[in-house]
Structure 1
């Protein structure tokens, strides 16, 4: 049985939902939510990336990530839907919770 793909959010829904996140941004051209996280060193960065991977797997909604020595860029979009959905915001909120 295939799960239902959530609906793509409108620009106004996205702008409103961004207020519930901690400094995430929306790229309208690429249709994705993104945030760059900065850390003091490689081990802290990798610990965060591993926590993100665990959380994403729990939610079954996986981000694209770019990882450097002291930074991680996290990007969410719902590929099956062709844009940003409620799943992306739920996942971003879970990532924010890792930082609190």
Structure 2
């Protein structure tokens, strides 16, 4: 189900650190060590495989940026929201 308008704002607003960017949601995670960021990306990959839904990942030294959207739906869906929650949980374990 594709979220639009107020519903989308409410859903993304419930997830710490995530913001809307056009038809995507994005979050930058900061780490105090490069390898902690890499460990986080490894966990993101495992979560993504379980969902069969993969974010755009950018690694910039101690910063990891994730961007989520459901391309075949043309925006943000409940899968993106659920996955973002799991990414946040992984972050709490890896920081």
Instruction: Give the TM-score normalised by structure 1.
Output: 0.86
Residues matched between the structures, number: 92
User: What's the counterpart of residue 71 of structure 2?
Assistant: 79
Name the one with the larger helix percent.
2
The answer as to whether partners of 2:13 and 2:19 remain within 8 angstroms in 1 is no
CA offset digits 1:14-56 (Å, max 9, x no partner): 111123211200013xx00100001112111100100101111
**Root-mean-square deviation over aligned CA pairs:** 1.0
Report SS of the residue matched to 1:40: coil
Report SS of the residue matched to 2:74: coil
Alignment gaps of 5+ in structure 2: none
Alignment gaps of 5+ in structure 1: 1-6
Deviant stretches of 4+, over 6 Å: none
User: What's the counterpart of residue 43 of structure 2?
Assistant: 51
Report SS of the residue matched to 2:58: strand
User: What's the counterpart of residue 60 of structure 1?
Assistant: 52
User: What's the counterpart of residue 88 of structure 1?
Assistant: 80
User: What's the counterpart of residue 61 of structure 2?
Assistant: 69
